[in-house]
Amino acid sequence: MMPRDGGCDKAAENEVGPAVANPLPLGLRTTPWNAGDPFRATLKGASSMARLPRHLAVPAWTTLALGMGLGFAPTPAGDIDRDLTSVLEQQGFTGRIESTLERRLGRPLDRRLANLGRLLWFDTIIGLNDDNTCAGCHSPTNGFGDTQSIAIGIENNGIVGPDRAGPRNQRRSPSAMNVAFYPTLMWNSRFASLSGDPFDNRAGFSFPEPEGTSLSYLPHLLDAQAFIPPTERNEVAGFTFRGDNHEIREEVLRRLNANATYRDLFAASFPQVHAGAPVSFDHFGKALAEFEFTLTRANAPIDRYARGELTAMSEGQKRGALLFFGKAGCVGCHAVAGRSNEMFSDFDQHSIGMPQVCPDVTNAPFDGPHADEDFGLEQVSGRIEDRYLFRTSPLRNLAVQAAFGHNGAFTSIEAVVRQHLDPYTSCREYSTSGLDLDLRHAVGPVEPVLSTVDPLVRSPASPTDREIGWLVEFLREGLLDPRARYETLRHLIPPAVPSGRAVLVFQAPSPRPKTAVVAVASRGTLLHVLTLSPAMPAAGGTGPIAISFTLAERRSVDARMYDATGQLVATLERGATYEAGVHELRWDGRNERGNRVAQGVYFLAMRAGSETARERIVKLD
């Protein structure tokens, strides 16, 4: 299925609605309808950012540091604003894209209709398998994106969050935020406005058969796209209902027309229904699309900065932005001009050497001789040269995502830069240890994917850790609209829905530790890293990192910490014998010489007998 706080300028407020006064977006502020070494660490990354341009889209002032490293003398603090404002002006980035929504629609948003769409979004009545709906895969807990690395649709356990369980699909569900401005939808762009403008239907809207271009009469790409999700078998429709896409939609309409509350809600927005006509799928699509229009969250620090609020971004965010638009070349694929609509994507297809992850249990047909591959765009085009190509992921509001890449192979923003800086090493040394247990076993072939990597991302680059830190800060905070956080979006979850069915259970995202951010990882059966979490801070505000592990049998243990280049930083244990049970080691953040090391990404490598385990640690203090 498809388909941020404060600081809006007055024009944005007038067109889209106040940004701070009420957490509900764009008029959805009424009460609910019912008023109630051998240790050399694996370098992991994330797939949401292509580093270099596929086309010659980088402006003349940009200098790419390919294969030579991105190291450079930092811009003096007094020159940062001058340089960044100049860069944004050259890129045509205005920070006002959200305020253009109603003008491009040619009308004000319909708050009543959007509220109807919201109720449909959370109601399983629209899924013929009776156990999933839009919100199951596009959850307010994660910016209306997936809570999983690979989506779980039908046959789920009724939970939306980390404990969601069931057979998996093939890819991660992308966020439904800001999709009003996307000219193509889905990871393989199989839903597209042929004009390159989702607000313009004159060239038609393209979908796979049987729909083809038959939905081109609708005014916006989202109006047309809403026809498709209810027909997706492994997402909501299930496999027991007999019938084609048209017949599935007819059954959904039968359910809605048989519900008096829904008929009243549709009648309040559509005069034809008020006069006695049945609810049609045009009505259904318009309601869902209207709700998605209200999910526009494009008022991040970078937007406020572009509008003249120079204190909206921290110095680190500004330096990261200069890298993004300059030496790192990210803007070449994560574009902001033209049809990108300031969404940080060229909406083109690229191969960037992403590892192939395959779940233990799936209800989706995977590709390849061993059914452990995803051929990407080739599934749509039929052309082998399109194999492993996926749409450039838009980057707004990355901080609220649970995973990154078309298959959620990576679960941290920090690694997004490193994966794109060296896709070959990242893919060849990739470990699924940070993923859910049912995603840790099957990994598809590596070399076929790497043989298709875009030439412009083939040359490894070597930025400094400080530069990577700036870039991460920009991606994580500089592109985050505070209204995209769960604390605001949770109010959109209705306590009840018109069908009377149970609303799915939404789990709040886990709070992020302040000292270290890690994921559970294990290899082998004897050694298992249970938790890696910060201990109580020591004097001065810095805290050691506690490493808990269990042994199934008595074993000698080695534990070492490495930096991102594979250089030994500290030895935590060397050959000591531990009995079976739970144990703890601590790293005080110092190297072998007793000097405190800088914040950044480090890797723990442990061995118990012949069994090994590795884990990435982000040291933030």
Domain assignment present for residue 316? The answer is: yes
What gap in Å lies between CA 592 and CA 315, rounded to an integer? 32
- CA-closest candidate to residue 525, choices 587, 605, 575, 580: 580
Are 359 and 450 members of one domain?
Answer: yes
The structure's pTM equals 0.73
Domain assignment present for residue 205? The answer is: yes
Taking residues 274-284, what's their average pLDDT? 98
Which domain range does residue 353 map to?
Answer: 88-95+298-479
| pLDDT band at 582; cut points 50, 70, 90 | confident
Whether residue 445 has a cis bond before it, omega within 30° of 0:
no
Are 492 and 556 members of one domain?
Answer: no
Residue 287 near residue 386, CB atoms below 8 Å: no
Q: Is the dihedral of CA 469, 439, 432, 344 positive or negative?
A: negative
* pLDDT tens digit sequence for 426-437: 899 888 888 999
Structure tokens at 205: 């809207």
Domain assignment present for residue 535? The answer is: yes
Answer whether residue 546 shows pLDDT above 70. yes
Are 378 and 400 members of one domain?
Answer: yes
**Pairing of β 205-206 and β 191-193:** antiparallel
CATH number at residue 600: 2.60.40.4070
* pLDDT tens digit sequence for 514-533: 333 233 333 333 444 434 34
| pLDDT band at 55; cut points 50, 70, 90 | very low
Q: CA torsion 116→178→487→480, rounded to 10°?
A: -170
Structure tokens at 196: 């390159």
- CA-closest candidate to residue 315, choices 303, 327, 305: 305
The SS3 assignment for 236 reads helix
Taking residues 52-74, what's their average pLDDT? 35
Are 306 and 438 members of one domain?
Answer: yes
| pLDDT band at 374; cut points 50, 70, 90 | very high
Answer whether residue 327 shows pLDDT above 90. no
| pLDDT band at 34; cut points 50, 70, 90 | very low
Domain assignment present for residue 400? The answer is: yes
Are 278 and 138 members of one domain?
Answer: yes
| pLDDT band at 345; cut points 50, 70, 90 | very high
- CA-closest candidate to residue 387, choices 141, 99, 188, 529: 188
Domain count, the chain: 3
Domain assignment present for residue 132? The answer is: yes
What gap in Å lies between CA 182 and CA 172, rounded to an integer? 18
Are 262 and 376 members of one domain?
Answer: no
State residue 524's pLDDT score: 36
Q: In this structure, what are the phi and psi dihedrals at residue 269, rounded to the nearest 5 degrees?
A: -110, -20
Domain assignment present for residue 33? The answer is: no
Answer whether residue 117 shows pLDDT above 60. yes
Mean pLDDT is lowest, of 36-50, 177-191, 445-459, 586-600, for 36-50
Are 444 and 497 members of one domain?
Answer: no
The SS3 assignment for 489 reads helix
Are 240 and 373 members of one domain?
Answer: no
* pLDDT tens digit sequence for 128-161: 999 999 999 999 999 999 999 999 999 999 999 9
- Among the candidates 479, 498, 526, a domain finishes at 479
Taking residues 277-284, what's their average pLDDT? 98
Are 363 and 460 members of one domain?
Answer: yes
- CA-closest candidate to residue 212, choices 253, 247, 248, 246: 246
Taking residues 25-47, what's their average pLDDT? 33
State residue 218's pLDDT score: 98
Domain assignment present for residue 244? The answer is: yes
Taking residues 484-511, what's their average pLDDT? 94
Alpha carbon distances (Å) from 72 to 77, 466, 492, 510: 14, 11, 46, 37
Are 334 and 438 members of one domain?
Answer: yes
CATH number at residue 348: 1.10.760.10
Answer whether residue 511 shows pLDDT above 70. no
What gap in Å lies between CA 384 and CA 333, rounded to an integer? 22
What gap in Å lies between CA 588 and CA 584, rounded to an integer? 13
Are 526 and 613 members of one domain?
Answer: yes
Are 346 and 215 members of one domain?
Answer: no
Residue 126 near residue 102, CB atoms below 8 Å: no
